[in-house]
Amino acid sequence: MISAADVKELRSRTGAGMMDCKRALEETGGDMDKAIEYLRMKGLAAAAKKAGRATSEGIVDAYIHGGGRIGVLIEVNCETDFVARTDEFKQLVHDLAMQVAAARPQYVRREDVPQEVIEKEKSILRAQALNEGRPEKVLDKIVEGRLEKFYQEACLMEQPFIKDMERTVKDLIAEKIAKLGENIEVRRFVRFELGEGGIEG
């Protein structure tokens, strides 16, 4: 039997609806961690369905770090002004601005990386692998693996989230889409560091 206290705890930990929490606990035999995982999987599936919807509302947030040494401006869009004004959405945007300040992404998503940058990166990675004495026949596999690491560092959506390194920024946004019921999109950002050129993503 699933207790009301368990349902309440799961709800406070995930923000999911009461009935969804009850069902998740029933499906997982009352195991709290498995129920959270279950809800996350359901949420990601729901988020995928919403991903194609137009986002014309949202907010621009600024984050200044290190006594004015680093500054970030970020625009994050959602579907309605109602969601844009919620504390949860504002917190998400602020967390993303902090992410850009701390993790220095150059692009929003991997599709934004210009082809010539990818080709240049591949040739550098290939040369590194050759210098390490790796056999010719496995070079392509090594380059592809290291290119994934490049995306994880260079693209905001692929980066581990600074407040929870177990999740990527993409996971975080998918969870918020499921919770808020609207598509959410990082439109662009710019990062300034004192004495350096700005990074635009």
pLDDT at 136: 82
The whole domain housing 45 covers: 4-50
* Same domain as 127, residue 65: no
Percent of the chain exceeding pLDDT 90 equals: 49
Which is more confidently placed, 40 or 83? 83
Predicted confidence band at 198 (pLDDT cuts at 50, 70, 90)? low
Which ranges in 30-157 belong to alpha helices (H)? 32-50, 81-84, 87-103, 115-131, 139-154
- Calpha distance 7→80 (Å, rounded): 30
DSSP secondary structure string for all residues of 19-64: HHHHHHHHHTTT-HHHHHHHHHHHHHHHHHHHTTS---EEEEEEEE
In the DSSP assignment, the letter for residue 16 is: -
CATH code of the domain containing 12: 1.10.8.10
* Same domain as 63, residue 104: yes
Q: Per the structure block, which two tokens stand in for 168? A: 């990527």
pLDDT in tens, 133-148: 888 888 888 889 999 9
pLDDT at 184: 93
Domain count, the chain: 3
pTM over the 0.95 mark: no
